[in-house]
Each structure stands twice: as C-alpha cells, then as structure tokens.
Structure 1
Amino acid sequence: MKVEDFIRNIDTTIKKYRRLYKLLDIISITFLSYAILLITNMEMVFGMFPALEVYSTASISVLGASLSYPRIFLFFLSLAFGLLLTFILHIRDDKRDTIDVVEEKYPALNERLSTAYDNREVDNIIVADLRENVIRASTNVVPATFLNKKRMYIGLFSLLIAISLLTYVSVSEYRISSTPEDLKDLLDPLLPENEDDGSDLAVMEETSDESGNQSSEDLLGEPSVVIVEGKQVDLTLPPGTGTGFTPGEQANTTPEDFLPSYAYEISVISSSIYSEELPEGYESIIKQYFEEMAGK
C-alpha cells in the first residue's frame, strides 16, 4: 500500500465522522431553537404585520397532519439558525489537515508521515526507506481511533434533550405568558420618537415696540404677520375691503344694483313723504324753518 492510499483512506474515515458530528449538531440546534420559539409565542409575530396577518391562521395538510404557516416558518428559521451555528462550530475542524490529525493520534508517525507524503514523487534510497517505515507503522493505525467519543456523546445527549423538549411542548401546548406584543410595548418607550420640526407650519412672529419691548398686537386676536418658508406675509386688510380682497386684482366696490343719477341741475325737490300733520301750535314755526332752509 502506498502512502497516498493510506492517507486517502484515513481522510475518508475522518470526513465521515465529521459529517456525523455536524448532523447531530444541526438536528439538536434546530429542534431546540424550534421548541424555544414555540414556548415564547413567536407564532404571534405574524399577526403584528398587516401583510402577514392573513397567513397567521392559514395551514396546510401534510400526511394527514395540519401544519400552520407560522409553525412552518419558525421551523425553517430554526433550521437556518442550526446550519449557521453548526458551520461556525466546525469551521476550525474542517481546516485541519488529515496528516496533522494522524500524527497527533500516533506520535510514531509524527513528521515522518508528512515528509513521506511531501516526497512521494521523489525516488531515492532515503525516501524509499522512509516510505517503507511509514507503511509498516500505518498497519497499527485503527480508523475507529479517529472517532471523537466525547463529542459524539455530547451530540447524542443534546439531541435527546432537544427531542424531549420539543415533544413536550408540542403535546402539552405549553407557552409562557409573555408575547411579542409585550416585548414591543416594553421597547417602545426606549425607541426615539419622530419629532415634527414644524417646517411646514406657519411661524407666528410677535412685533414689539421700542419703549417697553411689548407687543402692540392683541395676543388673543388674529395675527397681522406670519412667516411662511422664511418670508413675511402681511395679513392686514386695507380699510373698506370688507371680508377680504384678492391680491393682484382690482376689487369691484360698486354694488350690482347701483344706478347712476341723471345729469340735471341740482335744485330743491319736495319729498314724497312730506306730511302736513304737524304738532298743534307749532305749524307756523316749522313752516318758517323749512322755508328758511330752502332759501339758502
């Protein structure tokens, strides 16, 4: 057997064990995360968003079992978390070379195995003797020694706990009293509020006189000056304009039923409402008064 064949066989065995560790970790983390999400009422998150509220009570049938959309979403979310956390936990193991693992387990092959593998294309007496010694020592290598029993036991124990917890939660429907709504209400006072700067509103400006720096306007009356987009606008109405006027247009102040008088010479005209009924005893005085007025 060549050195390359020996390392290839050991590499296949080590990768098989690593896949087993990863599978146990993925299942354990996924089931444990899913159980925690169910206990904490995360299914109610769908009802907090108007776009997802329609799916909060919807469900599908799989193999005779009814599964709600929130539970399916939480399961895939737990699976994604399990994959991510497992990748982080095993990223260091995947970087370890197979030769380093073998030399760590079997000190008799320390540096000899790596040297023989690096010089596998070299053909001389020294390298040939080294390869022969490595192949002889490799017969004592047992593939089962590369199984990390401690990690295996931890993975199986974690899987047992996760399955037991998920089974209990699913059967008993156990939930805590808190809900995502309670968490939202708890975080709302801590979040910054959106304050309106009032840029679109008119800013009232008080006018003051020079004597006592007191406003000459009535504080309870209508403002005469406002500031809109940084410009002062005078709201004072000109005298005689009534309820208002239209800027840029000449107001029509002539009543619609006005008729112009005829062009004739001004003279005295008797009133149609003149009455001869005068107080007794004063007829002569009143007539004399009107005659004097008409003569002026």
Structure 2
Amino acid sequence: MIVLDLEIFTRKMNSVIRRYRTIYDLLEFLAISLIILLIAVFFNLDEIFKLIPLTEPYVGLSPDIPFFTVNYETIFLFFIVCLISLLILELVDRNRKRIYKAVKKTAPQRRNTQDVVEETYPELKDRLKTAYDNRDSDNFIAVELTRSVSSDVEGVSSTDLLDKKRLAYSLGAIVAACLFLGLIFFTGFTAPVSPGDILDKFPNGSLTQPPIIEENTSSNNSSSIPTEAPPIANAPGVDIDITLPPGAGMGPGDMLEGSENNFTPSKPYPPESLSSQHFYDNLPAGYQDIIKDYFEKVAENS
C-alpha cells in the first residue's frame, strides 16, 4: 500500500509538472510574439506587404468573416510573427547551454519530478528519490524510509511546484507589450519610417545606382551623326525602280493650279533632323545610338 501511494504520488506530480511546463511555454511564446508584434507595428512593417507582388493585391482587403473584420496584411503579419516566435524558442532551447556559457553561468539541468518536489520541500531532500528507487526492497531500513516519505508527501501541494519567478517574467512581458500596443493603437504614434521609405533610398531596390548616360548636345557629338544616306535594301535578283514619278516635286496646291515647279533632289539628312522633337524629348538619354545601331543591323541583314 505504501509503495502504491508513492507511485500514485509520483505520477500525479509528474502530470502536474508537465502541465506547468506547457503553461510556461505558452506564456513565453505569447510574450515573444507580442514583443515582436510591438516592434513590427511601431516600425510600420505591415507596409512591406505592399512591396511584395504576391501579397500586394490583398493589401487593404479583408476576408468575409461574420461579425469580425480584419485585413489580410494583419493576418499575414500575425503568421509571420508566430513563425519567428517559434523559431526563436526552438533556437533558444537548442542553444541553451551556449547562451548560459556566453554569460558565464551554468545551464540548469532538466529536472525530473522528484528533483522539483525535493527542491520545493527541503525536508524531502534525497529521501524521496531514495525511497522511490527502493520501493520494491524488503530491507527494513528501506521499508521504514518509504513509510516515512509516504507520510510526508501527504502535505505536498501541487501549487507549490509552480515556478513563480518564471511565470512572473512571462506575465510581466505580456502586460508591458499589451500596454505599449494599446498606446500605439489609441494614439497612432509610430516611427516616422517605413519599409517603403527605406526602399526608396535605393534606386530600383538595389544598393548600387545604374550608370546614367548623359546626352551631350555640344558640337563634339557631330561626328556621331551619319553623313551618308542609309543603303537601300535589295533582294538578290530583284530590280528596284528608284525613279521619282512625275509631279513628285509639286505640292497639292501647285498641282491644282497647274503651276510648274522645278524638282529639287533631296539631300541625305541625319534622322534626327527629320524626326519629331517631341519624340526625342520623351526618349530616355542614351537610347538614340542604340536605336540607330538596331536599324542599321536590320538593313545590313535584309
């Protein structure tokens, strides 16, 4: 009966401690999530979804949820915050020893149920584990120890096993983050910068500015203007008639009145002088030579 009491007590305390550890993990996850959310809201990080082509069409819209309205960018931000919080908890758990070593402290060992109970109740120090390990022994000393410990554990309260310091830290962080978030939501006070402002400082979203080709309108550019007429494309074996038809040198008014005008053959002019100036005003700098080279190559390959 005594052995059964110790086993029942151990299983009960083990269940209580697992439940408490789950509460600790949830509170720490909530605290980290609220702190990250506070940072994201203060620095207007939700505007980053306007810059992502995949999420930009959903910005400003909300799903059809009865009695509840929330924007898609808030949902996206919530999932990202949760993902980052889980990642932080996982990294901290895996690198706990390295973190304690960096601050020159010894990392606490993973304690079992007997360790937690004995730490909370010093009178059971080393007695509970010894009695539990020797619960099947017929030795008189072991039996008396088991009987004594079984009597002492009747005064153990499960609420005393709660790590109040760890719980206080998590609750304090949650309350502080909630207060600051409420202050931001009610006053609208945020940082004067946003992801869009930072991105605008870098042209084309890159750190390096592309080279700008300046158009030089001085007389030094006269050498780049072609002085010869472009060649006429001709297919092999095909004759092209390049004679002008009668009356080509006369305007419409002169043809109606029957006046005679002497035909003046045209001279080769650079393409810039025959094109609309409005076109070149809107043409980006540096593209004139590219367009000229393109049509010259087309003419050569024809």
Instruction: Specify the TM-score bucket, using the shorter chain as the normaliser.
Output: 0.5 to 0.7
Shift of 1:192: 7.3
Mapping 1:21-40, distance limit 5 Å: 21-40=24-43
Aligned equivalents of 1:9 and 1:77: distance in 2?
A: 38
Shift of 1:178: 0.6
Shift of 1:169: 2.2
The structure carrying a bigger strand percent of its residues is: 1
Q: State the SS of the aligned residue for 2:69.
A: strand
Q: State the SS of the aligned residue for 1:45.
A: helix
Larger radius of gyration: 1
- 1:214 corresponds to: none
1:29–1:162 Cα contact (<8 Å) kept: no
The counterpart of 1:100, out of the listed 92, 112, 115, is 115
Equivalent position amino acid for 1:78 in 2: V
Aligned pair count?
Answer: 208
CA offsets, 1:206-258, max 9 Å, x none? xxxxxxxxxxxxxx99xxxxxxxxxxxxxxxxxxxxx8xxxxxxxx8x997xx
- 2:278 corresponds to: none
1:39–1:176 Cα contact (<8 Å) kept: yes
Distance of aligned partners of 1:54 and 1:40 in 2 relative to their CA distance in 1, 3 Å threshold: same
Determine if the alignment matches structure 1 residue 128 to structure 2 residue 143: yes
CA offsets, 1:129-175, max 9 Å, x none? 22112212323433222122222322222222122222222333332
- 1:60 corresponds to: 63
- 2:190 corresponds to: 175
Shift of 1:54: 0.5
2:135–2:143 Cα contact (<8 Å) kept: no
- 1:164 corresponds to: 179
CA offsets, 1:176-213, max 9 Å, x none? 21111233356789977699xxxxxxxxxxxxxxxxxx
CA offsets, 1:30-82, max 9 Å, x none? 22322321221112111112222101222124443421111111112222333
- 1:152 corresponds to: 167
Aligned equivalents of 1:166 and 1:3: distance in 2?
A: 48
Q: State the SS of the aligned residue for 2:156.
A: coil
CA offsets, 1:100-150, max 9 Å, x none? 112222333222222222233333333322211221232343322212222
Aligned equivalents of 1:161 and 1:72: distance in 2?
A: 23
Structure 2: gaps (5+ residues): 97-107, 211-222, 225-230, 240-302
Q: State the SS of the aligned residue for 1:58.
A: coil
**Percentage identity across paired residues of the two chains:** 30
Distance of aligned partners of 1:51 and 1:89 in 2 relative to their CA distance in 1, 3 Å threshold: closer
Aligned equivalents of 1:187 and 1:149: distance in 2?
A: 50
Structure 1: gaps (5+ residues): 196-219, 222-242, 244-251, 257-296
Equivalent position amino acid for 2:49 in 1: F
Aligned equivalents of 2:206 and 2:154: distance in 1?
A: 67
- 1:119 corresponds to: 134
The counterpart of 2:16, out of the listed 5, 13, 32, is 13
1:32–1:166 Cα contact (<8 Å) kept: no
Equivalent position amino acid for 1:128 in 2: V
- 1:225 corresponds to: none
Moved more, 102-111 or 185-194: 185-194
- 1:260 corresponds to: none
- 1:247 corresponds to: none
Equivalent position amino acid for 1:72 in 2: I
Distance of aligned partners of 1:147 and 1:34 in 2 relative to their CA distance in 1, 3 Å threshold: same
The counterpart of 1:76, out of the listed 76, 79, 102, is 79
Relative to the length of structure 2, the TM-score reads: 0.56
Equivalent position amino acid for 2:84 in 1: F
